[in-house]
C-alpha cells in the first residue's frame, strides 16, 4: 500500500537483508536503482530456518517517479483495450558444485531445476493450484493477478552451442580457478566479486540464476533493475555502477531451490526464487521495510498496509490475519510472494504488482530485451530460406484442443511438435505433403501453463506460444 517516506530507518535484526546493484561488502548500506542494492533472505542458524530481512533500503524517488509514469501509460493503453503483452524470459541456472555426482548435494539434478522453472511459471501466470487453499477472502482473491510473465529454459549458450541440459550450466568450482573461500560455503562478497562476473551470460538475453552454498545463512538475493539514463540522469547510468551488468541476476542457496532433491522445508516449494525474481523485476517487500511501523511503502497501492513481515503460516489455512496497521478483515496479505511467509502459503501477486512488473519489463535496462531473446529456441539447422509463410494457433489460450494452421510456399511434409517450458516434447504430429493444412492437437491431460508449438519443414521452422488453462 502506498505510504509516504524518503528513507527507511535501520531495524536491529540479527539477520539481515539487502537489495543491491553491486555490493561486495555485505551486509552494508544499500541503495536502490543506481546505488548498491541487494535483497537477501537469511536464516537463523538455530534451531530453525527463517526468512529475515533488516538492512534498510532507500527508495530512489527519481526512479519511482519515472516508473509510476510508465505504469500510468500502460493503464491508459489497457483502457484503450490494447492487447496485453506476455513476456517469456530465458533462464539459465549456473550450478556451482565441487565434484558431486549430478543429483547429489550441490550438484542439483535437472529434474530439481525443472521443478523450479515450473513453479515460476505457475506463480507468475496464476496457475498455482495451491492458491485456493490460503487465498479464501474474496476481497483478496479478487486482486490475484496473472502477471503475464513466463520463463523458459535456455536451449543455447551465448556461443550458440545447444545445451545438453536446457536451462543448466554446471560449473566445477575449481575449474574456474577460484581458490577461496572454501567451496563448502561461499560468501556473498566472493560471489559478487569473483563468481558472478566470471560466469554470467549476457544479461540482455538471459535471466541468470546462480545456485551455490552460502556460509552465512543466506537463502537468496537479487539485483534490482535500473532505468534508462536518458530518463533519469545518472540513476540509470551504468558508469555509476561499474560492475552491475556483470552481476545482474539472482543467487540461491541450493537447499532452497526447486521442489525436490535437496530442497528443505519450510522453503521447499520453490517460492524463494519466485520472491527473488520479484525483486529482480522491481518489487519491494510488501511491508515496505520499515520495521514494525506503518510508514513504509512497497510503491503498490493495492497491497494492504502492514506492520512488518509475516513468518510461517496461520494454523488455519485461509484465515484472516491482522496487525496494528491493518486491524480488520480481510487483513494483511501474508499470502503475497513478497512477504516472508512459509512457501506453502505464499500464493499470489496483486494487480498492482503486475502493473509494476510489466512496466519494468517494457522499459528497464536489461529487462526489456529479454522478451525478444531467442535463447530458448535451439537452431535446427541453417537454411537459405524457409517455406513457412505463416503459422496460426486457435484458440489461444485453450482449455485443451488447438487448431494449428500452416501456410507453406509449396506442398511438402511438415511436423508439428508441442514442447513445455522445460523443452520436453508433449505432442508431435507429422503431416504428409500438404499446404495450408490445419492440424488438430489435443493437449488435455497436460498441466496448465505455457507451451511452444513448432512447425518444421526441410527448409526451416517457426514457433509460437500457446497457453493451456
Catalytic center residues = 276
HEC letters along 116-175: HHHHHHHHHCCCCCCHHHHCCCHHHHCCECCCCEEEEECCECCCCCECCCCCEEEEEHHH
User: Strand, coil or helix: what is 40?
Assistant: strand
Bridging pattern class, strands 449-457 and 149-153: unpaired
Nine-digit cell at 324? 496494528
Distance CA 198, CA 251 (A): 14
Instruction: List all residues 6 or more positions away from 200 whose beta carbon is below 8 Å from its beta carbon.
Output: 208, 246, 247, 248, 249
CB 29 within 8 A of CB 193: no
Cβ burial, residue 101 (10 Å; 0-12/13-18/19+): exposed
User: Strand, coil or helix: what is 77?
Assistant: helix
Nine-digit cell at 204? 540482455
CA distances from 95 to 92, 99, 151, 399, 424 (A): 9, 11, 18, 36, 21
Beta strands (DSSP E) in 287-424 are: 388-394, 401-408, 412-420
What separation, in Å, do the N-terminal and C-terminal C-alpha atoms of the chain show?
A: 30
CA distances from 167 to 92, 121, 150, 204 (A): 5, 14, 14, 16
Distance CA 442, CA 383 (A): 31
Instruction: Encode burial over 7-39: b for 16+ CB neighbours within 10 A, e otherwise.
Output: ebeebeeebbbbbbbbbbebbeebbbbbbbbbb
Please work out, in degrees rounded to the nearest 5, the angle formed at the alpha carbon of residue 159 by the alpha carbons of 421 and 244. 80
Amino acid at each position: 500500500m502506498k505510504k509516504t517516506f524518503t528513507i527507511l530507518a535501520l531495524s536491529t535484526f540479527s539477520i539481515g537483508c539487502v537489495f543491491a546493484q553491486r555490493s561486495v561488502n555485505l551486509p552494508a548500506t544499500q541503495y536502490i536503482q543506481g546505488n548498491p542494492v541487494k535483497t537477501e533472505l537469511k536464516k537463523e542458524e538455530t534451531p530453525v530456518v527463517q526468512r529475515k530481512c533488516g538492512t534498510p533500503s532507500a527508495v530512489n524517488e527519481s526512479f519511482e517517479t519515472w516508473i509510476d509514469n510508465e505504469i500510468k501509460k500502460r493503464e491508459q493503453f489497457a483502457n484503450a483495450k490494447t492487447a496485453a503483452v506476455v513476456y517469456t524470459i530465458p533462464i539459465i541456472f549456473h550450478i556451482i558444485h565441487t565434484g558431486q555426482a549430478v543429483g547429489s548435494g550441490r550438484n542439483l539434478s535437472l529434474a530439481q531445476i525443472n521443478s523450479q522453472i515450473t513453479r515460476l511459471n505457475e506463480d507468475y501466470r496464476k496457475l498455482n493450484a495451491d492458491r485456493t487453499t490460503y487465498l479464501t477472502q474474496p476481497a483478496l482473491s479478487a486482486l490475484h493477478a496473472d502477471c503475464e510473465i513466463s520463463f523458459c529454459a535456455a536451449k543455447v549458450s551465448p556461443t550458440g552451442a545447444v545445451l545438453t541440459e536446457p536451462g543448466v550450466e554446471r560449473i566445477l568450482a575449481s575449474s574456474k580457478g577460484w581458490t577461496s573461500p572454501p567451496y563448502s560455503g561461499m560468501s556473498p562478497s566472493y560471489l559478487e566479486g569473483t563468481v558472478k562476473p566470471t560466469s554470467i551470460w549476457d544479461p540482455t538475453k538471459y535471466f541468470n540464476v546462480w545456485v551455490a552454498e552460502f556460509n552465512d545463512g543466506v537463502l537468496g538475493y537479487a539485483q534490482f533493475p535500473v532505468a534508462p539514463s536518458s530518463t533519469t540522469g545518472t540513476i540509470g547510468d551504468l558508469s555509476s555502477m561499474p560492475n552491475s551488468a556483470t552481476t545482474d541476476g539472482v543467487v540461491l542457496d541450493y537447499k532452497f531451490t526447486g521442489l525436490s532433491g535437496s530442497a528443505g522445508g519450510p522453503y521447499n516449494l520453490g517460492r524463494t526464487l519466485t520472491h527473488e525474481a520479484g525483486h529482480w523485476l522491481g518489487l519491494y517487500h510488501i511491508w515496505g521495510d520499515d520495521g514494525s511501523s506503518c510508514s513504509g511503502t512497497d510503491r503498490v497501492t493495492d497491497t494492504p498496509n502492514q506492520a512488518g513481515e509475516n513468518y510461517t503460516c496461520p494454523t488455519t489455512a485461509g484465515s484472516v490475519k491482522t496487525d496494528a496497521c491493518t486491524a480488520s478483515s480481510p487483513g494483511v496479505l501474508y499470502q503475497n510472494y513478497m512477504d516472508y511467509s512459509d512457501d506453502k502459503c505464499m500464493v499470489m501477486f496483486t494487480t498492482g504488482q503486475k502493473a509494476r512488473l510489466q512496466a519494468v519489463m517494457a522499459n528497464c535496462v536489461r529487462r526489456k530485451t529479454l522478451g525478444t531473446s531467442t535463447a530458448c529456441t535451439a537452431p535446427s539447422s541453417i537454411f537459405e530460406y524457409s517455406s513457412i509463410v505463416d503459422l496460426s494457433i486457435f484458440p489461444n489460450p485453450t482449455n485443451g484442443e488447438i487448431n494449428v494452421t500452416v501456410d507453406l510456399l509449396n506442398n511438402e511434409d511438415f511436423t508439428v511438435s508441442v514442447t513445455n517450458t522445460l523443452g520436453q516434447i508433449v505432442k508431435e504430429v507429422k503431416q504428409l505433403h500438404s499446404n495450408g493444412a490445419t492440424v488438430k492437437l489435443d493437449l488435455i491431460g497436460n498441466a496448465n501453463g505455457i507451451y511452444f508449438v513448432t512447425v518444421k519443414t526441410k527448409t526451416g521452422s517457426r514457433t509460437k506460444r500457446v497457453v493451456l488453462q
